[in-house]
Amino acid sequence: MKRYVGIDLGTTNTVASILEISQEGELLPRVIDIGQFNEDYEYIYDKILPSCLYVDESGNQYVGRIAQSMKVKEPERVIYNSKNYIGTSGYFWEIDRKLFSPEEVAALILKEAKQSLEREIGEEVVNAVITVPASFNHDQIRATKKAAKMAGFDEQNTYFISEPTAALLDFINTEKKLPQNKRHLDFSRPRKMLVFDFGGGTCDVSILEVQMTDKDFIVEEIAISSHTLVGGINFDLMGSIYLLEKCSKEMGDLFDSENEKRHVYNRMVCEMEKARKFFSISVGEEVIYENIVENFIKGKPYKFKISNKEYEECIRPLLVKEGNMGYNVVDPILDTLEKAGLMIQDIDDVLLTGGMSNYKPVRNVIEKLFMKKALISLHPMFSVARGAAIYHYLSEKLNKGNNNIKIEPVLASNIYIDIKNGLPFLIVSQGTKAPYEREYDKILRVTNATGMRLDVFSGKNLWDPKMKRLKSVQLNFSKLIKPGTPISLKISFDRNRILTLSAWVVASTEQRVQVAIGEESENYEH
């Protein structure tokens, strides 16, 4: 029996899933156990692999539960939240004079998932679908692709899908199995759905148009949010600041050194994470989280105590647009609606997924904004991985030219190319659906007889203060080219949301450069 593989490479946790097809043709995704060491150095199996790396004093590398526990004990030897830095050129962590890039950390995490998949299936796994935030740019997607290759996946047969779209595929598959009278939604007509994927490190929003009939399976992205680093960790940090102030009032001056301060703060953040999870599953008006931590500071124990009402007051700035943090959970939703040219009332349904979707204050804010009840994923921690495995199966059908299946990703930002003595020229608009290809004839002119530089940017608009340079490519001409000679461009955008740019001198077609936007800059001689 052929099996299909999906991996949710999360900021906080990683999950792997296998899809099997029943004799009746039903899609049956299931999350597998991933092998890892726990804090007692016992080898265990768990469906959740914390996305952390720990390097001990002997140089041994551990991914998962043990690394998560070491964030408190040996924080200088632990790398976590590395996904937030993937695709950032020149970013490294140093442990014992060894440098670790975000791609290397991601590769080690993916390798653990790969080995457990192979143990489960009983054969080598080289093809998979790996999820990325919908808001990931070209650098970040290419860096994730590089990490997958380093982990042993086949570069040509590894596909990427946005996390909200994967979660939606799992929801649709679950709905499809229900009797007609038990289904939450009627997909026989097109529906505009907003998927709010709220995890440990990021907040991802996608608006999609969905239609499903006996023959057709259509999921089209309309717009996706900008990359928003708001997640469970931000809630933990806000709660920790509050608890530190409370603790200092009770215990006086807490810190004798920076190391002691970091140790106490890490302990506080870990405790707030436990409190947040406790509140997310608790019911009642007044709920209190309590826990005594031995040897908390200066050999003394400390009793953590915080009510759900205190906690909700702490994190309120993250839940309202007028909050003083500069970021919140509402802005990504409004930003995505603006990109799509839609109003709140244009959205038919809202689907919540991710670990934080269980947290009632978050759900209340979104339901109040849309003035309707939100749908909650049945598998909030696992739906993205399950949906990735479903997409692995569907992508095989897409590759065979099945016209009844349509899953179309969109470009997150506008793409511009710099034109000397003028404003950058828009070559691909945000919201463009993949696959896409277009040629621009004689768009540029040679400015130097021996070569010229092409600069490619992405941004919301021409005046975007966060406009990012994606690529600088130097074209070195093998023969002298007369200044003023026109240059043509071809831009391609594939299903993995990776852009490729070709440029050539019109008068000399052999002088051509082709580069995938997001790779490291190089000089090209032709």
In this prediction, residue 410 carries a pLDDT of 83
* Beta strand pairing call for 191-198 and 349-353: parallel
In this prediction, residue 524 carries a pLDDT of 32
In this prediction, residue 520 carries a pLDDT of 40
H or E element, residue 505: strand 499-505
CA distances (Å), 130 to each of 180, 195, 376, 408, in order? 32, 18, 23, 16
CB-based contacts of 284: which residues, under 8 Å, 6+ apart? none
Ranges under pLDDT 50 in the chain: 516, 518-526
In this prediction, residue 65 carries a pLDDT of 96
In this prediction, residue 421 carries a pLDDT of 56
CA nearest neighbour of 248 among 231, 230, 237, 261? 261
pTM, entire model: 0.86
Region of residue 107 (phi > 0: left; psi between -120 and 50: alpha; otherwise: beta) = alpha
DSSP 226: P
In this prediction, residue 25 carries a pLDDT of 85
In this prediction, residue 441 carries a pLDDT of 87
- For residue 435, say if its preceding peptide bond is cis, omega within 30 degrees of 0: yes
In this prediction, residue 486 carries a pLDDT of 85
> Which three-class secondary structure state does DSSP give residue 476?
strand
In this prediction, residue 179 carries a pLDDT of 84
In this prediction, residue 200 carries a pLDDT of 77
CA nearest neighbour of 141 among 231, 80, 218, 224? 224
Query: Which pairs with CB-CB distance under 8 Å and at least 24 residues apart come from 288-293?
Result: 293/267
Residue type, 33: D
**Cross-strand partners of 293:** 302
